[in-house]
Amino acid sequence: MQFDVLTLFPDFFTSPLQSGLLGKALEKAIASVNLINPRDFTTDKHRRVDDEPYGGGVGMVIKPEPIFAAVESLPVLPKREVILLTPQGQPMDQALFRELTDYNQLVLICGHYEGVDERVCQLVTREVSLGDFVLTCGEIPALTLINGVIRLLPGTVGKEASLIAESFSTDLLDYPHYTRPPVFRGLAVPPVLLSGNHQAIAQWRLEQQEERTQQRRPDLWEKWENQQPSP
């Protein structure tokens, strides 16, 4: 999979793209990330990418010309999505990450300042948001999306079965995890996890998922209940 990221701050991605599983996945060519600076597509001597908004108002707006030129410079792979990272977009979730793994190419446009000129939306096939809040830049949600999608690609995670039971793989939160020692500062690992009874362990984990989801995310719990078959 190819990620083409339009960003005014390419250095923002340097360390994250070299670290951990993400860095290893890129080394193994499971995915590739191409960083494009719209400033390289400006035509004035000041390489200006923003201007004042028509109609007045605070802040600056990213001009359409460098964004169009940058996107149009990219090769078009067979199945492509052009995504604008914006607070007005579709909220990110695990289902979105899974859907995006089916694409060959994701072009990510990182917004800045007060946003981008609305005409840029003519290029865009999807708008995506990290959540109901405003950040200083679109690089943070772009990096989140890259990480969330790449970790689902075959070969990124060593034990792909670990992706199945984690939070949001269904509408239930993850169950508690424990490792050695069996007792730490008087806190003991639940006996069922030491029993070797895999059926009992599976049942305990499901009960923990249901209890956590009901307590912490009643919105997900309601969705989960509605999807269960009638008795």
Give the model's pLDDT for residue 230. Answer: 75
In whole angstroms, give the CA distance from residue 173 to residue 53: 43
In whole angstroms, give the CA distance from residue 163 to residue 152: 8
pTM: 0.88
100 annotated as belonging to a binding site for a ligand: no
- Choose between 230 and 65: higher pLDDT: 65
133 annotated as belonging to a binding site for a ligand: yes
Average pLDDT over every residue of 44-59: 92
In whole angstroms, give the CA distance from residue 181 to residue 117: 56
111 annotated as belonging to a binding site for a ligand: yes
Cβ-based neighbours of 154, under 8 Å, separated by 6 or more: 30, 160
130 annotated as belonging to a binding site for a ligand: yes
Give the model's pLDDT for residue 229. Answer: 83
132 annotated as belonging to a binding site for a ligand: yes
Strand partners, 2: 32, 105
187 annotated as belonging to a binding site for a ligand: no
Q: What domains lie within the chain, and their CATH numbers?
A: 2-150 (3.40.1280.10), 165-227 (1.10.1270.20)
Task: Give the pLDDT confidence of 9-22 residue by residue, as tens digits.
Answer: 999 999 999 999 99
Task: Give the pLDDT confidence of 69-93 residue by residue, as tens digits.
Answer: 999 999 999 999 999 999 999 999 9
Task: Give the pLDDT confidence of 147-197 residue by residue, as tens digits.
Answer: 999 999 999 986 554 555 555 557 888 899 999 999 999 999 999 999 999
Give the model's pLDDT for residue 98. Answer: 96
Residue 26 above 90 pLDDT?
yes
